Amino acid sequence: MTDQQTVIEAIERAGVVLAEHIDPRITSDPEQTINRLIAVLDTQEVAGAIARLKAEFLDPDGLIVTVPDISTSKFWRLAAVDKRHQAKKKAKEHKRADERRREEDRARRRAMEENYEPPKRSSNSELAKLAKILGMLGSGADGEALAAARRAEKLRRQMDVTWDKLLRVD
């Protein structure tokens, strides 16, 4: 059997193990599946075949490139450790991003509180006048309602206040 056939056969057997693991009709233990995968992939025969294939790898100029030998056992352990490390790193990045967003929100709220200016105190007579004008907005005559809206806007400008501040909308 050639090295390529050895590696292909090991990958196919590993595929069968994984297929059995995800088959809903078969109840399988994840730890048992990992152990079965290690048994299939972590053999001297497969490790030797991989090492020989890697050693025969040719670079683009046709020169043989030798690759340091690494046993499959060590390879799979390193891959598992690397995946766990990447998952922890990603979780930390998400946590830091969430903390940054929360801090930005807090800073934005503090800035809004610090920059908040209460609406200018309008005299009671101005507010009473505005209340009467706004009451006319419900008129059945469209011209009268439009005129009331324009008068309310003119009075608001004279009071030198925005609608948000006048109505105290944050």
Residue where one domain finishes, among candidates 52, 67, 82: 67
Q: Please check whether residue 136 is in contact with residue 144, taking contact to mean a CB–CB distance below 8 angstroms.
A: yes
Kindly state the tokens that stand for 1. 């059997």
Number of structural domains in the chain: 3
39/76 same-domain check: no
107/131 same-domain check: no
62/6 same-domain check: yes
- What is the rounded distance in angstroms from the CA atom of residue 167 to the CA atom of residue 158? 16
Q: How many helices (H) and strands (E) does the chain have?
A: 7, 0
Residue where one domain finishes, among candidates 48, 67, 86: 67
pTM above 0.75, yes or no: no
Neighbour tally for 45: CB within 10 Å: 14
- Give me the domain span that covers residue 112: 71-116
Query: Dihedrals φ, ψ of 64, to 5°?
Result: -80, 130
Question: pLDDT truncated to tens, each residue of the chain (170 aa)?
Answer: 888 899 889 988 988 888 888 877 877 788 888 888 888 888 888 888 887 777 666 555 555 554 555 555 555 555 556 677 777 888 899 999 999 999 988 888 887 777 665 555 667 788 888 888 888 888 888 889 899 999 999 988 888 888 887 777 55
